[in-house]
Amino acid sequence: PWGLVTLVGAGPGDAELLTLKAARVLGSAELVLYDHLVSDAVLAHIAPGAERIYVGKQSRNHTLPQEGIIELMVRLARQGRSLVRLKGGDPFVFGRGGEEAEGLAAAGIACETIPGISAAQGAAAATGIPLTHRETAGMLVYATGHLQGAQEDRTVQLDWEALARPWQTVVIYMGVGTLPVVCEQLVAHGLPETTPAALVERATLPEQRCIVGTVATLPSLGVRYGVKPPALIMIGEAVGRQVVPPGGAGMVSGPATA
Amino acid sequence: PWGLVTLVGAGPGDAELLTLKAARVLGSAELVLYDHLVSDAVLAHIAPGAERIYVGKQSRNHTLPQEGIIELMVRLARQGRSLVRLKGGDPFVFGRGGEEAEGLAAAGIACETIPGISAAQGAAAATGIPLTHRETAGMLVYATGHLQGAQEDRTVQLDWEALARPWQTVVIYMGVGTLPVVCEQLVAHGLPETTPAALVERATLPEQRCIVGTVATLPSLGVRYGVKPPALIMIGEAVGRQVVPPGGAGMVSGPATA
């Protein structure tokens, strides 16, 4: 019989943010394919005897293209091997889990999914920035700042009108490189320059840093503090409702309301 | 010394979707305040000797108003008692965690937060419906269908223009009662009637049901199958990319592409 593929969300970084189910599945796995953004502490939950295959990709340096990962999973599953596909965050939130499930289904391979805490949730909890708020943010929007298009013509394509609307919190994944464009476009599309905005680097990890400003000031703050990927951008009035938790949350520039 | 409050996300229902950190904190808690939507299987993670206080609220039957819950936490913390505030889903995604953290901070009580798998993520993983998809959904929007306003004038206030845009997945929390209005308004604001839409009842629990149709057909399907809260509405082309996992996911009406 062919093997089963389990897509597993590794969460935002802190290994304690794995779900009990993900930890159980990793602990009994025989074969795990894992990505670049999965931390060593998460990998430590994999059963000691299990085979591990690194299929990580960084923005400009794909170890295996997406199609190659699906082909590899199909080949292994057809050999009768069940496997865990471990992905940063949640497989269905910018994790390409949907494409992998489709590719597997097209080859007749069954697939199930275990969700993970997404980076936005990890960053919110670890910094005390709420994602929704009765008085200021009734909607929550996730978008990705990932550059799209061919090498020589890469740009960020986002629905600026949608993202510039009031009464919502916007979280941009993989947004460090495009932070200046994002802030400029949002203001150009009507978002007030005074709107609170935060940059959260390495959310939930000990080296987490949180830089808070406004959509007008955040790009220069990002440069001043040398923020590097992985980092998230959080934008909206709810960012101004931050309550910094005990421990300080890696605050670099003080909360927006300070 | 005053006590510390830990806001803990209980996840979408399945107790195995608690994070390791949430399970650890529940297991060592001495006092837990918990909500209506927290399942018995999650409560079973609370240390046997711990005191439990039910502060749940249902839509029309608030056991304790929000201000009362904050006052109770402040009073307990000022008695030197550390406590866990256990909330369904993620405390910062329609969980009013932000308001509770603010209320506690105003009273000088420290607060930290442990995120939880949100209902949308639980529903997506358990039904095989991706929340984002490279070809069809580059943004993910969470909104709430919760009725707002005074008793005699309750209505759902959503940014229909934003929700009717293409290239995104929209998830409406607490949307059973407002499903007809939601679908009608989205179509009136330009969303094609053929857009795939799903209703997921009791996501991640054994009795989960998943009803798939379009924004034109989902309201009548919801009535036909007698869907009751808690349930989520998922709308967008990505819903048509569903890959039903082994076990069937409680499919009632077949996937959108069938």
Q: What is the ipTM of this complex?
A: 0.94
On the question of pLDDT at A257 being above 60, the answer is no
Q: What pLDDT was estimated at residue A58?
A: 55
Q: Which residues contact A171 (CB under 8 A, 6 or more apart)?
A: A120, A123, A131, A140, A141, A142, A143, A232, A233, A234, A235
Residue A256: pLDDT over 60: no
Fold of the domain spanning A119-241: 3.30.950
pLDDT tops 80 at residue B76: yes
**pLDDT given at position B152:** 60
Decide the pairing of beta strands B5-9 and B61-62.
unpaired
Q: Which residues does chain B have within 8 Å of residue A9's beta carbon, measured at their own beta carbons?
A: 125
pLDDT at A255 over 60: no
The pLDDT of residue B198 is 97
pLDDT at B120: 98
Residue spans of beta strands (DSSP E) within A109-156:
111-114, 139-144
For residue A160 the two structure tokens come to: 């600026």
Q: With bands split at pLDDT 50, 70 and 90, how would you rate the model's confidence at B63?
A: low
Q: What is the pLDDT of residue A237?
A: 97
A238 to chain B, any CB pair closer than 8 A? The answer is: yes
**Chain A residues inside the 8 Å CB shell of B257:** none
Which residues in chain A have Cβ-Cβ distances shorter than 8 Å to B249? none
- The mean pLDDT value for A43-53 works out to 96
Q: What integer pLDDT is reported at residue A253 of this predicted model?
A: 74
pLDDT for the residue B258: 37
| Cα–Cα distance, B131 to B122 (Å, whole number) | 11
**Same fold for the pair A5-114 and A119-241:** no
Query: At B147, is the pLDDT very low, low, confident or very high (cuts 50, 70, 90)?
Result: low
Chain A environment of B159 (Cβ under 8 Å)? 138-139, 165, 167-168
Q: What's the pLDDT score for residue B145?
A: 82
Across A207-221, b (16+ Cβ under 10 Å) vs e yields ebbbbbbbbbbbbeb
pLDDT > 70? residue A116? yes
Q: Which of B24, B243, B257 has the most A C-beta neighbours within 10 Å, making it the best mutation to test the interface with A? A: B243
Residue B45 has pLDDT above 50, yes or no: yes
Q: How far is A235 from chain B (nearest CA, A)?
A: 14
Q: Among A132-136, B101-105, B155-159, where is mean pLDDT lowest?
A: B155-159
**Catalytic machinery residues of B:** 35, 57
| Mean pLDDT across chain B | 92
* Contact across the interface for A130 and B165, Cβ inside 8 Å: no
* A166 prior amide bond cis, ω within 30: no
Which comes out higher in pLDDT, residue A171 or A56? Answer: A171
pLDDT-based confidence at B257, cuts 50/70/90?
very low
Partner residues linked to A82 by β-bridges: none
Token pair for B220: 């009548």
CATH code, B5-114: 3.40.1010.10
The minimum CA-CA distance between B133 and chain A, rounded to whole Å, is 6
The two beta strands, A31-34 and A83-87, are parallel
Lowest mean pLDDT among A16-20, A194-198, A202-206, B150-154: B150-154
- Output the pLDDT for position A258: 37
Residue B61 pLDDT: 54
B158–A138 CB contact, under 8 Å: yes
Per-domain boundaries in chain B: 5-114, 119-241
How many residue pairs from chains A and B have C-beta atoms closer than 8 A?
A: 204
What are the contacts of B160-167 at 24+ separation with CB within 8 A?
A: B160/B185, B160/B186, B160/B188, B160/B189, B161/A165, B161/B189, B162/A139, B162/A162, B162/A165, B162/A168, B163/B189, B163/B191, B163/B235, B164/B189, B164/B190, B164/B191, B165/A159, B165/A162, B166/B191, B167/A159, B167/B136, B167/B137, B167/B138, B167/B139
Q: Which helix (H) or strand (E) holds A56?
A: none
Spatial separation of the C-alpha atoms in residues B37 and B40, rounded to whole Å? 10
Closest-CA distance of chain A to residue B141, Å: 4
CB contact under 8 A, A159 and B144: no
Residues of A marked as catalytic: 35, 57
List, as ranges, residues 98-117 from B with C-beta within 8 Å of A.
Answer: 98-99, 101-102, 104-105, 110-117
Q: Which of B23, B92, B243 sits opposite A124 (nearest CB)?
A: B92
Q: Which of A9, A121, A243 sits opposite B111 (nearest CB)?
A: A243
Q: Are strands A231-235 and A196-201 parallel, antiparallel or unpaired?
A: antiparallel
Say which residues have a Cβ less than 8 Å from residue A206's Cβ, sequence separation at least 6.
Answer: none
User: Which of B 154-213 lie inside 8 A of A, CB atoms?
Assistant: 157-159, 161-162, 165, 167-168
Quick: pLDDT tens for B167-219. 999 999 998 999 999 999 999 999 999 999 999 999 999 999 999 999 999 99
The whole-number pLDDT of residue B255 equals: 53
Alpha carbon distance B124, A101 (integer Å): 12
